Structure 1
Amino acid sequence: MTDLNPLAELFPGISLPMPGSSMSDEEALRYARKRFPHGSYCLVRNWLWLDLDAPTEILQSLAVSKRQPAIIYADTVVYDSERRWDVGDFVRTSPLHHFADDFLFHTLNTAYLLLGPGQRKRTSIENVACII
């Protein structure tokens, strides 16, 4: 397992451990292909759930579009069904639409399968904007 501490240190504040799926990469890929045969999905490891502190206007805008002020920053893409990212790339998601089964982070366009343990932190929207 990759140490998430350097990743978490990108953002100030306390990290809380958070479980992801214990499936292997191969099991997760089979699961995703069966569960999302016509949808976009991305398998990630070494991930950080970021709860965003944002101005009221942004929070209201997210609420109107049925999204929540949370994103995933993952250090390791395992597989992306749309080939937007290569294996091993990092990814920053768009805001959370809904979370299911303790490891499926859904945005409006993609289901992200959170594999292995991760961390959860609160951070400012300005800190997130600094991620390339």
Structure 2
Amino acid sequence: MNELTETLDLLCGDGEPISGANLLLEEAIALGEQHCGHKPYRVVADWILVDLDLTEQAAAEFVKATGLQPKLVYAHKILFDSSHKFAPGNWVRTTAMLTFTEPGLFETSNTLYILLGEGKRKTTKAETIMGFSNPLRAIPDGQNRRIT
């Protein structure tokens, strides 16, 4: 699979259904306020829990080196951000997972993510999920130029 196909499969393809928090937005915000007064939180929807495709040894080394799990969340839609870093409607990719508490509380070292509704669980390479900062990165050179 090429990079573009892998990215499209991750963002749009089928995955294992996984339940998030079954809350109204106001309830999710209240939960965020209660759960972590010192840490920012984000309420997101249309999300994907991503397991990084690593060997057992590489995963163990990752955990040992970072104290984190090799899992991230990609959310197509931010509903609320307590830090106001991201506007509602934007997408977000988290850093690696510190904890996951069902249903739908995904915590990183710096932020709590409240995952609303049903999401998907998928596995992908780190290069695929980390390449989202530049949407043209996956387009082969020479094909991203405007034709005038």
How far apart in 1 are the matches of 2:12 and 2:26? 34
After TM superposition, the runs of 4+ consecutive aligned structure 1 residues lying more than 3 A away are 10-14, 54-59
Paired position in structure 2 for 1:50: 50
How far apart in 1 are the matches of 2:127 and 2:20? 26
Where do 5+ consecutive residues of structure 2 fail to align?
A: 1-6, 134-148
In the superposition, the TM-score normalised over structure 2's length comes to 0.76
In the superposition, the TM-score normalised over structure 1's length comes to 0.84
How far apart in 2 are the matches of 1:98 and 1:71? 11
How far apart in 2 are the matches of 1:82 and 1:68? 24
Q: CA RMSD in A?
A: 2.2
Question: Residues 12 and 77 from structure 1, CA distance in 2 versus in 1: closer, same or farther, beyond 3 angstroms?
Answer: closer
User: Any residues of structure 2 matched to 1:1-132 within 5 Å, and which?
Assistant: 9-10=9-10, 15-54=15-54, 56=57, 60-132=61-133
How far apart in 2 are the matches of 1:103 and 1:48? 11
Greater Rg over alpha carbons, structure:
2
- Would you say the 8 A contact 1:12–1:123 is kept in 2? no
One-letter amino acid matched to 1:19: S
Paired position in structure 2 for 1:4: none
How far apart in 2 are the matches of 1:123 and 1:59? 17
Shift of 1:8: 7.0
How far apart in 1 are the matches of 2:51 and 2:74? 11
Shift of 1:11: 5.4
Higher helix share: 2
How far apart in 2 are the matches of 1:34 and 1:104? 13
How far apart in 2 are the matches of 1:44 and 1:77? 4
Tell me the alpha carbon deviations over residues 6-52 of structure 1, each in whole angstroms, 9 at most, x when there is no partner: x9733597610000011011111111112222221111000001100
- Would you say the 8 A contact 1:51–1:123 is kept in 2? yes
Identity of aligned residues (%): 31
Where do 5+ consecutive residues of structure 1 fail to align?
A: 1-6
Shift of 1:59: 5.1
Question: Residues 8 and 16 from structure 1, CA distance in 2 versus in 1: closer, same or farther, beyond 3 angstroms?
Answer: farther
The count of corresponding residues between Structure 1 and Structure 2 is 126
